[in-house]
Copies of this chain bind each other. A is one copy, B any other.
């Protein structure tokens, strides 16, 4: 569920970007009062996402447009499926079309990709989560698509999660100092996560009282060892080019979480089109 205001502001800004001073083609060629009906068609198979967002887009353009979908976010659509139908003033539909499609295609691409990852590790306890490697301005939408595809969300921004990375450790002086700083200064409502590159660093983080350990770019053997040593004390998160790894073998190590930047930084849009009848 995306915050109503964030969605409205996003649509307003995106329309301003796409429409400029006016949709000159549509205004010049289509008489006011022309009514149309049309269909949204899946040109590829995948997990659909962004249907409610598309409704809000068209409602924003013209509150009298009727739009009904035969699927819900998270459903599988197959190539050729009619996803839904639209009817209303032609000028309004034409003006809103591109933004709605751009969003549906991108979010469905993310959901589809996430879902493939989730299915691969369904026999293990590990969860697939996203990262902050999202497109600037689209974070809540892209994280929504990850959830729609069956994944989970890591922190939304720098304020709602503590993640001490290599550069923080260098700047703070040591893992111990960084964790102590977080304990002293950050709200008690946030868990403390530390990124480590070795078993030694993991031990240092556990001793300092980290709640979550991010195992950065470790091979599976090392992660298996990390799981044993941790013995359930902290949550363990595997990270580092996970988009290119064999996820099953990663999950098999027993880690709790696999975070994948590629879910949002390298997206292949799902092809969807709108055809007037």
Contact = CB atoms under 8 A, between A and B. Distances in A.
Interface of A: 1-3, 5-6, 10, 12-32, 34, 36, 38, 90-91, 93-95, 97-99, 102-103, 105-106, 109, 127, 129, 132-140, 152-164, 166-168, 170-172, 177-179, 181-182, 184-191, 193, 212, 235, 241, 256-257, 262, 265-269, 271, 274-276
B137 A24 contact: no
A252 to B, nearest CB: 20
B257 A167 contact: no
Given A30-B168, A156-B187, A267-B267, A132 B25 contact: no
**Copies of the chain in the assembly:** 6
Nearest to A185: B28
Given A27-B185, A28-B186, 16 more contacts: A1-B27, A1-B91, A3-B22, A14-B136, A17-B136, A17-B139, A20-B158, A25-B168, A29-B177, A29-B185, A36-B167, A154-B187, A161-B190, A162-B189, A167-B276, A262-B269
Given A159-B23, A189-B161, A167 B97 contact: yes
A188 B20 contact: no
Contact of A189 (B16, B136, B155): B155
A265 B276 contact: no
A159 B25 CA distance: 8
A76 B171 CA distance: 31
A171 to B, nearest CB: 4
A25 B163 contact: yes
17 contacts: A14-B136, A19-B159, A20-B21, A24-B186, A25-B163, A25-B164, A27-B185, A99-B136, A109-B266, A156-B187, A160-B187, A161-B189, A161-B190, A162-B189, A188-B191, A188-B256, A188-B257
